Amino acid sequence: MPKGRIPMEENRTFEEKTEEIIGLLKDRKYRQTRDVIIRYNEADIGEILEEIMEEIGLDTTIIVFRMLPKDISVEVFSRLPSDDQVRIVEGITDREITYIIHELDFDDKIDVLEELPANVVDKILERTPKNERKQINTFLNYPDNCAGTLMTPDYISLERNMTVRDALAYIKKEGMDSETIYTCYVKEKGRKLQGIVSLRTLVISEDDARIADLMHEDFVSINVYDDQEEVSEVFKKYGYLAIPVVDSEDRLVGIITMDDILDVIEEETTEDMERMAGVVDNSSTEYLDMSVWKHIRNRLPWLLVLMLSYIITGGIITHFENQLAAVIALVAYMPMLMGTGGNSGSQSATLIIRSLALGDIDLKDVFKVLWKELRVSFIIGLALSAFNFVRIYWVEQQSAGIALTVCAAMIIIVIAAKCIGSMLPMLAKKIGIDPALMASPMIASLTDMVSVTTYFVLAGLILGI
């Protein structure tokens, strides 16, 4: 942390400090506001600006942003949500925009340019040197959600015939402009990646040792067109701080660092949670910033699909209305059976989706998964049925036929639900659909159909109705 900068004071909450700053702004004490706000690190300042924008408005936020020292303003800008970045860009001058964009780290620069209006991007690129403009256009043309959109070309590149002394001197010279110096990349002519060497290895090695003798040639790399979710899996598997990105000819085109992958993991987790809840949302807009109509568009389609499935369930119930009329007591146990089926299926689906995401299981394990779920579901179904038989026959004084019908249905429903819940996500992955779509809402709908059909078929067989 730069000298003189402090984190949020431990004896004061973030809300208290923000309220103080907002109070100063409302009293138009801008100089005092600046003196207070620049004492904190860039992450805290970014959050404060978000609160100012929400409480007071964009104009005041831009005033505060302009009061920040230039080096701090660039770092703060890089930490703001993309929507707030666009708002600030629209409220400052072209010269200020150009300065901020040029000072940003390359990967942050690409992220900002992707969000800006095309006319603003064109203005910025006009003032950008030709070589950098060509590089920026290359990065902007990579498909969404691939490794190319996450990487940066700012890395330490060494030559295999360098000595450790030469390499450390080069790192001292170029290190400030690099995304990271902890891992260095060794290339041959044509930019083909030959190996990697860590800064730790360089520091503890003899000055006259050659890079060719120190580098590791069994490195892990990522293709520039790999999906960002696959990239995050590689980071989680190996625990690296940075991983090189190569093209189809194994030429080094950039590196991806852990800080960018953390954002991807958050996005992917959010996306999975939304899909598991039946919410279709491809944007990164925050909940309160999203319009009512946008919320409706995200939620309504999936609800309509699920509603149709319940219409089918209702049709099944209607088909068996004679059985219901003959033994009205059967109606009382339908919610319990349908709910237990849905919960059982959701349990299995959640575990399988998580295991698929973490790589704990693969499609080749389908029969192992099925065999395990069959055993688990049978024991669980048996335990639930035993409990309900006691409750229905002795406590509620229903006939043995009704108790047997409910309990037999319980065992079959739990087994069926857990098999559906475990197999559907694997089937989805097999055909190229996100397994998260096969979660709670879909599983519940399918198991409801199975539950109702099983219940009434058994009622007909056992009770003779």
Q: Report which of 315, 314, 344 is spatially closest to residue 416, judged by C-alpha positions.
A: 344
Highest mean pLDDT among 3-12, 378-387, 419-428: 378-387
The set of residues, in sequence order, having a beta carbon less than 8 Å from that of 138 and lying 6+ positions away, is: none
Provide the phi-psi class of 374: left if phi over 0, else alpha when psi is between -120 and 50, else beta.
alpha
Judged against a pLDDT cut of 60, whether residue 9 lies above it is answered with no
The mean-pLDDT minimum among 39-48, 126-135, 268-277, 446-455 falls in: 268-277
pLDDT tens per residue, range 214-253:
999 888 999 999 988 888 888 888 888 889 999 888 889 8
Residue range 14-149, CATH number: 1.25.60.10
The mean-pLDDT minimum among 2-6, 35-39, 303-307 falls in: 2-6
Of 460 and 407, the one with more pLDDT:
407
pLDDT tens per residue, range 178-191:
888 889 999 887 78
pLDDT tens per residue, range 139-149:
888 888 888 88
| Cβ neighbours, 10 Å, residue 75 | 20
Tell me the torsion sign for CA atoms 106, 111, 112, 116: positive
Backbone dihedral angles phi then psi of residue 83, each to the nearest 5 degrees: -65, -40
- The segment(s) of the chain belonging to CATH 1.25.60.10 are 14-149
Provide mean pLDDT across the span 189-203: 88
Of 271 and 117, the one with more pLDDT:
117
Provide mean pLDDT across the span 435-456: 78
- The segment(s) of the chain belonging to CATH 3.10.580.10 are 157-259
Q: Which CATH number fits domain 292-463: 3.40.50.10540, 3.40.50.1100, 1.10.357.20, 3.40.50.300?
A: 1.10.357.20
Angle at 217 between CA 214 and CA 221, to 5 degrees: 130
- Calculate helix-pair angle for 70-79, 106-115, nearest 10 degrees: 60
pLDDT tens per residue, range 329-354:
788 888 899 889 888 888 888 888 87
* Beta strands across the sheet bearing 242-246: 222-223, 242-246, 252-257
CATH topology of domain 157-259: CBS-domain (3.10.580)
Pairing of strands 222-223, 193-198: unpaired
Exposed, middle or buried: residue 92 (CB in 10 Å: 0-12, 13-18, 19+)?
middle
Exposed, middle or buried: residue 459 (CB in 10 Å: 0-12, 13-18, 19+)?
buried
Q: What is the three-class DSSP state of 283?
A: coil
Say how many residues make up the chain.
Answer: 465
